[in-house]
Structure formats: C-alpha cells, structure tokens
Amino acid sequence: MEERKGFGSNFGFLMAAVGSAVGLGNIWGFPNKMGANGGFTFLIIYLILAACCGIIVMIGELALGRKTGKGAVGAYKALSKKFKWLGWLGILSAFLILFFYCALGGYCIKYVVLNVGNLFNAGFGSNGLSGADVFGNFMSNQMESVIYGLIFVLLTMLIVMGGVGGGIEKVCSVGMPALFIILLICIIRACTLPGAVNGLKYMFVPGWAVENGVIPKAPNFFSVLSTAGGQMFFSLSLGMGAMITYGSYLSKKENLEKNALLIVIMDTIVALMAGLCVIPGRFALDPEGALGGPALLFITMQNVFDKMPLGSVFGILFYLLVVFAAISSSISLLEVIVAHFCDKARDAGKGDKRKAYSLIAAVAVGLGCVLVCLDCLGGAGIAPMDLLGVEKSGWSDCWLDFFDCVSEGIMMPLGALLMCLCIGWEVGPKVVDDEVTLEGNTFKSKGFFNICVKFITPIAMLLVLAGQLDSFFGFGWFG
Ligand code: PFF
C-alpha cells in the first residue's frame, strides 16, 4: 500500500497549523470584537476560554488525528460507533467555510493588484475614488469578483495538490515567517500615525468604546462570552476536523501538548498584532470608517492607505499579508476534504489519487464561491431568505453571512462540544493520555485536561452555542 506522507519537520507542522489558525478571523474579527466587547476584559475572557476550551479541544483533535493516522471522518470512525458520523460534520463545515473564505481571499488578491495600480498610477488603481466607491464598483462588477475568487480557489488547489510535505509545509514554512515580518512593518507604520493612540484605547481600555460613542451600549456578559467563544473556535480552526487532519500527519516523536500550546499562543499573539496594525490606522486616518467585517478590510483600510505617505507600498504589503493569511487557512480547509478521500483510495489500494481529489473538491468549492461572489451587493437575486422563504435578517440576506452563520456560529461549537463528549464520556480521556505520552513525553496538564474535557469545556461550549444561536436568530435568551 502507498505510504501516507506527512510533515517533514516539527517546524513545518507548526507553521502549517499556525497558518491554518491565523487567517481572516484574526485580522478583521478579533480586533473589532475585542474593542466592541470591553477591550481588556474581553481579552481576559478570551484567554480563559482559550485555556479551558481552546487548548483542550486542540490537544484532543491533534491526539485523535495522530492516534488514528486518518482524516476527520476516518478518525471518528476508528474511534467510536456512536460518533462515527461526526467527521462528516467537519467535511460539511469545511465546504461551507471555503465557499465564503475563497470569495474573500479573491477580494484580497484584487486589492494587491489595485495597490500595484496606485503605485504606478495605472488605470487598474483607485483612479482617485474613495475606498467605498472602489469597493462598490468592484462589488457591482460580478465578473471581476468571480474571476478573483476562482484565482484564489485555483491557488489553494495547486498547493494542496502538492501534498502535505511538498505543498502545504513548503508554502507555510516560508509564508508564515514572511507574514510575521510584514505585520511588524505595518504595526510600526500604523502606531506612529498621529491619532493612533485612540485605536489602542479602543482595543484595550474597558468601556472606552461606549464612553466615546463608538458603540451605543455595553454588551452583557453572555453575549461577550459567546462572541469570544465563537471567535476562538473560528480563529483556532477548531471543531471541524482541521486539526485532526493536520495531527494525523504529525510524527509520533513530537510533543503534542507543547505543539497545541504553541499554536494557541501564536494565534492569539498574531490576532493582537493584527489589531495593532488595523485599528490604530482606522482611528488615525478614517475615524468614521467601519471597524469590522469586509468593510474594515476593503473600505476603511483602503482609505487609510490612500491617505498615508507611500500608502500604495504599505497597501501592497498589507494585502499580501492578508492573502498569505487567508491561503494558509484555506489550504487546511481543503485538506480536511481531500485527506478523507485520499485515505479511502489508499486503503482500497488505489494509490492516494491526491491530484484528482483536489481537483474535484476544488470544482465543488469553486461553485459555492461563485454563488457568494455573484451575490455581491445582492446581485444574484437568490438570497438564502428567498430560497428558504424566511424574513430578511443578519444571516439570511446574503450567502456570505448565511454560510458564515451556519459554519462558524453553529457547526464549529457543536463539533467541539460533541468531540469533548466523545473523548470525555464515550472513549475516555485515556486515549488522549496514551497518545500524548508516547516516546517518553509527559502530559503535564493531564488532570486539568481530564476535568475540562468532561465537564468544563462541554458546559462552556453549550453556553457559547446558545449565545451564538441567540445572536444570529434574535431569540432574546440572553437579553
Ligand atoms: N482560523 C481561520 C481564521 O482565523 O481565519 C479560519 C479557519 C481555518 C477555520 C481553517 C477553520 C479551519 F479549519
């Protein structure tokens, strides 16, 4: 049978796993959610959740993957009869996230090109238009957004076709350190702008956003908890099998607990750094601009670069950074799907057929991505609310929000909750202990892990899930 090839080194694994975690969620999600939800207080709640849930689920997922040597579907199948379907939830989540992630990744490529145009005063630059007009024009040109979205899908596919060691590891081992350096350059630029200090206050000082009228009222504790929890799952790529899949390629020699801790720490550091790059820029140069979501990245930030000396150079650097971050995440999502089919083919003695499966999966992702791109500014005329016959709301009026709500809001916390129940109550935490302590490694947080995986994490997960459902569907459970 053909050998299942994994990562060549622990550094390569770490860069790939951090690459999966560091993505659009860090850049436009974290800083704004932190500012709007109590600044430093949010950070503390996020860190507590990361310690009691993030690291626990991370260790659990990596251990399941490495123990079984299979992608998400194969791992759950090998482990438990009751939970054998759970891997499919991961594959479905990966598709839904990829649909909108690739569309947004495509927009980021467009903005690199736009800033190159600005640098050379070429016709494909902003042509003196404001950020809002540039984005509006781009959104109303459906063909253009479809083309950029598909370029992003194509790049993702080519890397995954190269395999784990050849494609994913190579790209991430160069891309992630480069991303870090570009981020440092952008932070220095943003934080030395006059007025940048208000951005730091927005992000870190509790209550500053309400006192200064940036947000109307302070959110209550449960909504802060669920916002932090939802952000954490998405940001750490947990609850849908990405880390199970990467764990399945990790060598048995490596220290799993230390790797899990490092991934969580690095992801959180990059999220904070991304905040130091985008938020001070917004407060200094576009004080009325959006603070989150696509508008932060594609309108506010472009306005910031338009007003900054040498702005097109910083614009190119910044959007390149975002493209790197997005692509290192999208390859991990596609790998969740491809790994499963390769495993099946290999088990059937047919070789791994990686190229063929990458192509088929990418075509399916491309179709969903086209749907999201066509939908830009309601263009396609078939919003989820029309199809489902429901009223217009935050999740039903466009495909991007719909896929985001179902995957990030519901399926990821649900996937993590069920994984904890599977490990804590069905197969028992000893499975993880056996895997972590291979080759003489010690499991330093074993006692903590066991309590969390059985009780604390599932309860926190339930609260996060309820809070997410409440905020998406407006049930009013948490006021
Ligand atoms: N962690 C990525 C981000 O923060 O943008 C998103 C993501 C990647 C989620 C991979 C899930 C995943 F499997």
Does the residue 161 lie in any domain? yes
**Cα of 332 from ligand 1 centre, angstroms:** 8
Please work out, in degrees rounded to the nearest 5, the angle formed at the alpha carbon of residue 278 by the alpha carbons of 274 and 280: 115
CA–CA distance, 23 with 42 (Å, rounded to integer): 20
Tokens of 199: 């951005």
The verdict on residue 479 lying in a domain is no
Q: Evaluate whether residue 478 is within a structural domain.
A: no
Any idea what the CATH number is for the domain that residue 123 is in?
Answer: 1.20.1740
Q: What's the gap in Å between 20 CA and the centre of ligand 1?
A: 6
pLDDT at position 409 is: 85
Residue 479 has pLDDT above 70, yes or no: no
Q: Share the mean pLDDT of the chain.
A: 92
Distance 236 CA to ligand 1 centre (A): 6
Residues above pLDDT 70, as percent of the chain: 98
Q: How confident is the model at residue 249 (pLDDT cuts 50, 70, 90)?
A: very high
Q: What is the token pair recorded at 457? A: 């994490």
What's the average model confidence in pLDDT over 55-82? 95
Give the range among 89-103, 377-391, 405-419 with minimum mean pLDDT.
377-391
Looking at ligand 1, which atom is closest to the CA of residue 29?
4
**Sign (positive or negative) of CA dihedral 107, 111, 112, 113:** positive
Q: What is the pLDDT of residue 381?
A: 62
Residue 468 clears pLDDT 60, i.e. is over it: yes
CA-nearest residue, atom 10 of ligand 1: 237
Which residue, judged by its Cα, is nearest atom 11 of ligand 1?
Answer: 237
Which of residues 395 and 104 earns the better pLDDT score?
A: 104
**Å from CA of 333 to ligand 1 middle:** 7
pLDDT at residue 359, rounded to an integer:
98
Tell me the residue range of the domain where 296 lies.
Answer: 10-473
Q: Is the pLDDT of residue 71 over 90?
A: yes
Q: Average pLDDT, stretch 349-363?
A: 95
CA 98 to ligand 1 centroid distance, Å: 9
Nearest CA to ligand 1 atom 7: 237
Q: How far is CA 152 from CA 65, 102, 109, 171, in A?
A: 28, 6, 8, 15
Question: If residue 315 lies in a helix (H) or strand (E), which one and from where to where?
Answer: helix 311-347
Pocket test residue of 32, 156, 232, 235 for ligand 1, highest count of atoms within 8 A of CB:
235
Atom of ligand 1 nearest to the CA of 408: 9
* CA 208/CA 188 separation, integer angstroms: 23
What pLDDT is recorded for position 379?
52
Closest CA to 452 of 469, 434, 429, 470: 429
CA distance linking residue 63 with residue 433, whole number of Å = 9
Residue 102 or 478, more confident: 102
- Residue 384 confidence (pLDDT): 80
Closest by alpha carbon to 175, among 326, 332, 281, 366? 326
Cα 266 to its chain centre, rounded Å, is 14
Q: What is the pLDDT of residue 393?
A: 75
Domain count for the chain, please give it. 1
Assess whether pLDDT exceeds 90 at residue 428.
yes
137 in a structural domain: yes
Q: Quick check: is 405 in a domain? A: yes
The CA distance from 37 to 39, in Å, is 6
pLDDT class of 378 with cuts at 50, 70, 90? low
Q: Residue 442 domain-assigned?
A: yes
Is 2 a domain residue? no
Tens of pLDDT along 115-152?
A: 999 999 998 999 999 999 999 999 888 899 999 999 99
Q: Quote the percentage of the chain above a pLDDT of 90.
A: 76
Q: What is the pLDDT of residues 190-211, one digit of tens each?
A: 999 999 999 999 999 998 999 9
CA of 399 to the centre of ligand 1 (A): 18
DSSP 378: G
pTM of the model: 0.95
- Residue 254 dihedral angles phi and psi, to the nearest 5°: -75, 150
The answer to whether residue 453 scores a pLDDT higher than 90 is yes
Question: Is 457 part of a structural domain of the chain?
Answer: yes
Cβ contacts of residue 286 below 8 Å, gap of 6+?
131, 300, 303, 304, 307
Distance 177 CA to ligand 1 centre (A): 18
Give the residues surrounding ligand 1 with Cβ less than 6 Å away. Answer: 20-21, 23-26, 97, 234-235, 237, 240, 242, 329, 332-333
Confidence of residue 162 (pLDDT cuts 50, 70, 90): very high
Residue 380: pLDDT over 60: no
Residue 85 has a pLDDT of 94
